[in-house]
Amino acid sequence: MIPSQPGGDRGALEDGPVVRVLVAMSGGVDSSVAAALVAEAGHEVVGVTMKLWGGPSDQGCCSVADVGGETPNPCIECNRHLKFDRLTTRAAALGFDAVATGHHARVTVGSDGVCRLRRGVDGAKDQSYVLYMLGREALAGLLLPVGELTKAEVRRRAAALGLRTADKPDSQDVCFIQSRSGRAGFLAERLPLRPGTVVDAAGSVLGTVPAVQLVTIGQRRGLGGAGGTEPRYVLDVDVEGATVTVGDRRQLAVRDQPLRDLDWTSGPVASSHEAPLEAQVSAHGRAQPAVVVPAPGSAPGARGPAVLRWIEPQRRVAAGQAVVLYRGDVVVGGALAA
């Protein structure tokens, strides 16, 4: 754990005693600058890279068997199970005091001494969404040096330091998906892809898709001729029944979104129509006001099912996608869409 003063910001690396820091190096500009900033602050730095995928890849951490017709976020599951589980455990075993990464987010310490995860300064590059699963203990041992910088500032720092990553383009793809075969090729090598029937809400057959496992909620393209006078969107995917249900934009909107595995960062946070939280359902999506309704009979603060009730109807979220809860710029919890 890193000693911190209440009210302090983890971006202020020069505060406090010298510590040993293991920096997760991705090969990009953000982690390169993160390592440089930690070293400049006088701390002992060791960089480490992770082999995230055991199979052939030219670009990994997720089990295809765990997908089951859902649309998971691989980066979130990598953070949950590898970067902030196995890596931090290994760092502690090797005697490091902290782990640092190049994520655009911030960790601050409140007057109550509690570490909180906040959005990064650069709103366009904020990555707090993919770190929502981090609890108090993980945050207490985490440094996010570039969270206080914009991406442009990070690149200027890298250039001033003479780092070869200064002009390296940002990674846009899932690290273990090969550029040659893409997502379809990756899955086809690991599970039998099943053709599916496309139907409307009344059950009328409109077309077919070559692989029902490659279809997700909200999808508009590649629906096998299920066109019409107005755009059609995927409303539901039944992998077992090999059926894709489509409808119009109005049918895609919902007031209530079922959740599972709801977890609060520092205890449950109350919400109401008058004082809602904000829920974000994709890495770069816009957070929208909503109220969290606990499942009947659930214990306060317990990890489990709930319902997210939007103040205004929103597009339904594909099962497996993360729903991250904010109050202001602070991450207060998150869940997976059910």
Instruction: Write out the catalytic residue numbers.
Output: 78, 175
- The full 3-state SS of 10-24, as one line of letters, equals CCCCCCCCCCEEEEE
CB 77 within 8 A of CB 61: yes
User: CB neighbours (10 Å) of residue 117?
Assistant: 29
Q: Which residues pair with 74 in a beta bridge?
A: none
Burial bucket for residue 133 (CB in 10 Å: 0-12, 13-18, 19+): buried
Cα(248)–Cα(147) distance, integer angstroms: 40
Strand, coil or helix: what is 142? strand
Beta strands in the chain (DSSP E): 20-24, 44-48, 98-100, 105-109, 115-119, 142-143, 196-200, 205-209, 233-238, 243-247, 253-264, 277-280, 288-294, 304-315, 322-327, 330-337
Cα(314)–Cα(280) distance, integer angstroms: 11
